[in-house]
Amino acid sequence: MQLRDYQVQVLDDLKTSFKQGAKAPLLVLPTGAGKTVIFAELARDFVNEGKKVLILVHRRELVKQACEKLDLIDVKYGIIAAGFNADADFGLQVASVYTLYRKITSNKDNFIPDVIIFDEAHHIVAGTWTKVIERYSKATRVGVTATPIRLDNKPLGQFFDRLINGVQVNYLVSKGYLCSHKVFAGAELPDLSKLKIKRGDYRAKDLKEVMDKPVIIGDAVHQYKKHLNNKPAIAFCVDVSHASKVLAQFLKKGVKAELLTGSMKHTERDEVLHRLKTHKTHVVVSVDVISEGTDLPCVTGAILLRPTKSQALYMQQVGRILRPEKDKTAIVLDHVGNTFRHDFIDIERNWRLEFDVDEENKKAKPLFITCKKCGYVYKQQKICPSCGYQLTKQELLAIDGELKELKRQQQKEPITIREQYRWSLYAKTKFHAINVLFFRDLLDKSKISFVSKNNIQIGDNITYYNGHNTQKYGIVIAFIDLGYKDKIEYYKVVPKIPEQLVRAGFDYMFPEDVKEGKELKELQEKGLYTLGKRSQPFVNLEDKLKRFDIERLYLETKSKNLGEHHAGYNLLLLTNEGLINYETEYKNINFKHGDKVKKKIRDLPFQRYKIDGFIDIARQAHFNVGYNIDWVYRNFYARKLLKELRAYCIMYKRL
C-alpha cells in the first residue's frame, strides 16, 4: 500500500518520539487523512519487532474498517469483538472496547499486549477505556484521533505524553484528499441561553424541548430541498424522539429518508447505509451513529440539528461529509449555530495536550455574517461570496463593532511569511539586546565554544521540559564549557560489626563471602544483600549460638577521588523567552526532529542565513504545529544571532 507523503512523515515522527523516550504519543490527523492506514502500518512494524499489539476501537464499524486496512498490507490478526470469529494465536488483535472490558471484568482476557493503539482516542476518559489502561498498565500507548480533546473540551494530557501534529484540513483540501465545503445557516437559530450544561455540553432533555419546534424542523426540510435536493445527506439529531419528528417531516415533504439509531441491529444499520450509498435513500436521520469512523464519500450534506458545545463532536460530524468525490462540494446546513461556536472546520487549529479550559472558553468567538438572501455563512466582508449580495451601510453598522476593524485588515494586500518577520518577536530590538547582554555576561564567567560536541551541532533543535509536563524546544547557539573538576565516586561497603554485637556473639551471615570492606558490587554478583528502608542495602548478622534474632547491618557510603576530569558542556539554547543556560548533567538530549529534517536543517549554509530555507522545510511539513511560523522565525533569527555572537568573540579574542 502506497503511503502519502504526510503519512510517511507522521510515521517517522512517531518512531522518533519513541526513540526520545515517549511512552504514550498521541497522533492528530483530520477525518479523512487516513489514520487507520497509518496505525495499521505502525501495528505491522511493532509485530515485526516481536511485540504483541492491541488495536482498540469503540464501534463495530471501526472494527471492520481496521480489519480492511490490515488485509491490504497482508498482516495476520485476530478479532476480539461480538459477532466475529476469535483467534487468540496471532500477535495482533483488533478489539472492541466493550467486548474486551467484559473479558477483563470476568478474568477471561488471555492476550497481554506490549502496545495498545487507541483509535478515536478522545474517548479514552470513558470508564471502559480506563479499565483497559489499568489492566495493561505496562503497555506502550499510541493514541490516534482527529480531535485531541475530550467531548467536554478538556485536554488529554493525563493520558498521553507527546503530541504528534500532522497536516490540517486546509492542506488535505488543497491536495484533493478532502473536498471543499460551504456553510448555510437556517432561517431561525434556537435560543440556548437558558439551557443547563452537563459534562461540558448541553443537557439532551433540554435540547429536545428547544429543537422540537416545528419552525426549526420545517426549515431543515426547506433548506435541504433548496441546497441539496435529492443529494445524499445526514441529519444529526438530539435523540430518537427528536429524530423521529425530523424523519416524519422529511417524508411528509416527499424526501426519501430513513432513521438510523444505535439501538438498531447491525444488519439493519448496514442496510440503511447501503441504500444511502446507492441513492435509494436521500437523507439518513441519525442519532450518534455516524459521528465517527464511517467512510461515506457519497454524502454531500450535513444537516446540523443538535447544538453542541463540544468542538470534538462538531468536527467529527462535519468531517463525515468531506470525503472527496468527483465535482463534489460539501454543504453544511447549520440550523443550530455550531459553526458560530467552533469556527469553520478547515481553519488551522493549534492543538495542545495541556491547556486551561477556562481560559480557552474566554477566547473570542469567530465573527460571521449570514447572507440574508441565500443563507451562506462567511467571515466579515461586504459582499456575499456565494450569491454576490452586497450589504447596505445600515446592515454593516448593525454588525458587531469588531467587524470594521477586521474588514480593514482584510482590505490590505496579502503579506508573505518573509515580510511578516519584521513584526515578529525575534525582530524586536529589545529581545535581541537582552540576548546579547545575556551572552556577554555568560562569556565573562564561562568559556564558550561554537564547535560541535558529540552528535550535537550548532543550530540543532533540542526539546526539553519546563516543569513536569510542559515540553519546549530551543536552538543550540553554543556550548558552555564546564571545565575540569575532581570526579568523586561514591560506593557502598560492608561496615565493621558494632562492638556490642560482637560481644553478643554476632557475625556476618555467609562470613566466607561477606566481610568488612566488601563492596556492594561484589555482593550483587552473589545476591548477598537485601534492600531495606528507602531501598538502602543491608547484610544480615546472625548469632552463632542461635540465641537472638537476625540483625540487619546497613552498608555505609564511602567516596574516593578519581582525579580531575572534564565535566562536559551545558547548552546555550535560544527559546521563545530568549537565551537560556540549559544544564545537561543527568539528562538525555532529545532532538525535536527526526533524522531527515535534522539533516535538512544542518545542510542549510550558515553563511547564507536566508529565511527561505526554513520556510521550505516548514512547507514540506505542511506548516503543522511543530513547523509553524514561530519555528521558521526562531531558526532564522538563531542564525543571525550566531553570526553576531561569533563576530563579537573573534573581535575580543574570546574563542
| pLDDT recorded at residue 607 | 59
pLDDT score for 615: 86
Rounded to whole angstroms, the Cα distance separating 648 from 655 reads: 10
513 and 445: one domain? no
- Same domain for 112 and 33, yes or no, is yes
Q: Are 582 and 435 contained in the same domain? A: yes
Task: Average the pLDDT over 283-309 and give the result.
Answer: 83
For the cut 80, the answer to whether the pLDDT of residue 413 exceeds it is no
Single residue among 564, 598, 624 that ends a domain in this structure: 564
Distance CA 143, CA 155 (A): 13
β-pairing, 25-28 with 78-80? unpaired
What are the strands, taking DSSP E only, across 439-555?
447-449, 461-466, 470-481, 484-493, 506-508, 530-531, 537-543, 551-554
Note whether 532 and 606 are same-domain residues: no
Distance separating alpha carbons of residues 571 and 449, to the nearest angstrom:
10
pLDDT band at residue 321 using 50, 70 and 90 as cut-offs: very high
Q: Are residues 546 and 642 in the same domain?
A: no
In a domain, 243, yes or no: yes
Q: Is 638 a domain residue?
A: yes
Q: Show the cell assigned to 505.
A: 556473639
36 lies in which domain range?
5-166
Q: What is the pLDDT of residue 407?
A: 33
pLDDT in tens, 424-457: 899 999 999 999 999 999 998 999 999 888 789 9
Q: What Cα–Cα distance (Å) separates residue 552 from each residue in 110, 216, 549? A: 42, 80, 10
pLDDT confidence of 399, banded at 50, 70, 90? very low
In the DSSP assignment, the letter for residue 486 is: E
User: In this structure, which amino acid lies at residue 71?
Assistant: D
- b/e 537-550 (16+ beta carbons within 10 angstroms → b): bbbbbbeeeeeeee
Do 231 and 328 fall into the same domain? yes
Distance CA(353)–CA(111), nearest Å, equals 30
Based on the domain organization, do 75 and 113 belong to the same domain? yes
Domain assignment present for 371: no
CB atoms within 10 A of CB 59: 21
3-state SS class at 439: helix
The reply to whether 373 falls in a domain is no
Lowest mean pLDDT segment, chosen from 119-123, 228-232, 400-404: 400-404
- Look at residues 166, 185, 215 and tell me which one is the last residue of a structural domain: 166
Residues 496 and 540 in one domain: yes
Report yes or no on 393 lying in a domain: no
What is the 3-state secondary structure of 252-264? Answer: HCCCCEEEEECCC
pTM: 0.59
Contact between 211 and 242 (Cβ < 8 Å): yes
Q: In what order do the strands lie in the sheet with 25-28?
A: 78-80, 92-96, 53-57, 115-119, 140-145, 25-28, 162-165
Q: How far is CA 547 from the centre of its chain?
A: 64
The structural domain count of the chain equals 4
Q: In this structure, are 94 and 185 located in the same domain?
A: no
Q: Is residue 378 part of a domain?
A: no
Least confident of 20-29, 204-213, 325-334: 204-213
Residue pLDDT, tens place only, 152-199: 767 788 889 898 988 999 899 999 999 999 998 765 567 787 788 877
CA distances, 184 to each of 138, 403, 461, 539 (Å): 49, 20, 44, 78
Residue at 192 is within a domain: yes
Amino acid at 148: P
What digits encode the pLDDT tens for the residues 580-603? 999 887 677 888 888 888 888 988
Contact 582, 569 (CB under 8 A): no
Q: Which of 173, 118, 116, 120 lies closest to 146 in space, CA to CA?
A: 120
Looking at every residue in the chain, the average pLDDT score rounds to 85
Backbone φ and ψ for 522, nearest 5 degrees, come out as -75, -35
pLDDT for the residue 404: 28
User: Coil, helix or strand for 570?
Assistant: strand
520 and 643 in a single domain? The answer is no
Residues 334 and 433 in one domain: no
Q: CA neighbours within 13 Å on the CB side: how many for 179?
A: 22
CA distance 273 to 320: 13
Contacts of 375 (CB under 8 A, 6+ apart): 184, 185, 186, 187, 223, 227
Rg (CA), the chain: 32
Question: What's the pLDDT tens digit per position in 51-86?
Answer: 999 999 988 888 888 999 999 888 899 999 988 888
pLDDT digits (tens, 9 = 90+) for 487-531: 888 899 999 999 999 998 999 998 988 999 999 988 988 888 888
Return the pLDDT at 554: 94
Is the Cβ–Cβ distance between 509 and 544 less than 8 Å?
no
Of 564, 581, 606, the domain-final residue? 564
CATH of the domain at 12: 3.40.50.300
Does pLDDT of 405 surpass 70?
Answer: no
Show Cβ contacts of residue 238 under 8 Å, excluding neighbours closer than 6 positions.
Answer: 204, 207, 208, 211, 287, 305, 306
Mean pLDDT across 602-624: 77
Q: Which three cell numbers stand for residue 469?
A: 509536563
Cβ neighbors of 277 (< 8 A, separation 6 or more) are: 232, 296, 298
CA distances from 186 to 183, 247, 340, 389, 486 (A): 10, 18, 12, 17, 76
CA–CA–CA angle 571, 450, 564 (5° rounding)? 65
Asked if residues 123 and 64 have their Cβ atoms less than 8 Å apart, the reply is no
Backbone torsions φ then ψ of 184, nearest 5 degrees: -120, 135
Average pLDDT of the segment spanning 16-44: 92
Residue 395 CA to residue 372 CA, distance in Å, equals 10
Largest CA distance in the chain: 108
319 CA to centre of own chain: 18
A 10 A CB-CB count for 438 gives 15
pLDDT of residue 410: 39
The three grid cell numbers given for residue 600, joined into one nine-digit string: 535538512
Assigned C-alpha cell, 495: 561496615
Q: Write out the three cell numbers for 17.
A: 518520539
Q: Is the pLDDT of residue 278 over 90?
A: yes
Residue 389 within any structural domain of the chain: no
Give the ranges where 457-575 is alpha helix by DSSP (H): 499-503, 520-526
126: phi then psi, degrees, rounded to nearest 5: -65, 150
User: Does 529 lie in the same domain as 590?
Assistant: no
Burial of 347-373, coded b for 16+ CB within 10 Å and e otherwise, reads eebebbbeeeeeeeeeeeeeebbbbee
Query: How would residue 215 be classed by pLDDT, with cut points 50, 70 and 90?
Result: low
DSSP annotation of 166: -
CA distance linking residue 152 with residue 133, whole number of Å:
20
DSSP codes joined into one string, 16-71: HHHHTT-SSEEEE--TTS-HHHHHHHHHHHHHHTT--EEEEESSHHHHHHHHHHHH
Residue with cell 538530549: 589
Closest CA to 125 of 166, 160, 156: 156
